[in-house]
Structure 1
Amino acid sequence: MEFFFNTNIQFYILAYLVGGIPFGLLLAKYYGHVNVTEVGSGSIGATNVLRALKTQNPKLAKQVAIATLVLDVFKGIIILALAKFIAGVSPETLWTIAILSVIGHCYSPYLKFEGGKGVATGMGVMFFMLPVETLIALVVWFLFAKTIKISSLSSLSGLLALVIASFIIHPNIPQISTHAPIIIITFIIFYKHIPNIIRIFKGEETRVV
């Protein structure tokens, strides 16, 4: 039982459980009476929430999608903030918390280990850990979103920009001297986007209008 009284372990479990909260599913069901796991891509993220609710109420769809995005971003940040500023855990522990938050979102314990694509939660934890690189990623995402208007391609392009920027700005990530956590989070998000990537190459990926 001493295992569960370890501060790091407690934060790891908390990061996974909080990261797994399917805000998109809960909000879409409550406000739009729609199960997003049965619509479109089946993802619980903001893009699929927008897609699921748009036909019945475009204004509501945007509001719920924005709320989903904000909550998905902050569910990773809040645990990192508690761990850093209250518990004072090590940088290695913070990066592990970041990874587990993304895993929780992508493989939620509340959805039989299904979930979202990890973009919003990933960007949230990256912003906390690497704010400059994440701002660069957001600029790239915005440019792609405005011009190409393919959500998945915009998100993945932003993520790639973040990875590249991290190697340029921080050849050695402060205090841990490795890019491994960033690569792991990137791999998880790209893996969850495999169906989208296939559709992109086939020219079948849906545009966000």
Structure 2
Amino acid sequence: MVDQSNKPSVYIGLQKKYESNHLFYNVCYGLEEEGIPFDSYFSEDKVNQIAHDAAQKSRLGVGIAVGDDDQIVIQHKKMNVDNPFFKKKIEKYFQAKIMGSNAARLVKGIPIKEISKEDDYYTISKSEDTENNSVTKNIEKNTTKSAEKNIANSNSENNEKLDSKKNIDSNDESDAVKEITKLVMETLKNIENSN
């Protein structure tokens, strides 16, 4: 584990079976990309309790838990244990990286990122031995996406309708994420001001 205990850090609480898990590694990469130090420890509690305890230990007031069948929880020290800042069952490893980034963004007080269903960037694969295969798969995936775009462009009328709907949908999701982040930050400030 990385020991950055001398610095204010985000604490990551792990259930033991997640010690060498790529969900954990990707959470760490997300924090590193945002420039936020972290430290980790083990616990056998449920993820909500682990995240709450991690937030209480953190000098930055933010904790993360990894466990309970691939769930990741981001918690702020001023929030209730049963009402975490963000909780998600991770389906793909890159989503764990976004969760780490979002925890760092909570520390910074900036809007969180959306958790998409497709990975636009390379993240840790299931096995270090298959790293090259993962890169190849990402290249193939991008090539497939390009071919799909060419097919879609051949029917420009339908493509325009789909694009306008996608833009409306993505704008709605993006606005919703920004609004939720804003409300959470205001709530945290109100809690802090009342103490």
Q: Same fold (TM over 0.5)?
A: no
TM-score, scaled relative to structure 2: 0.26
Structure (1 or 2) with the larger CA radius of gyration? 2
Say which structure is richer in helix: 1
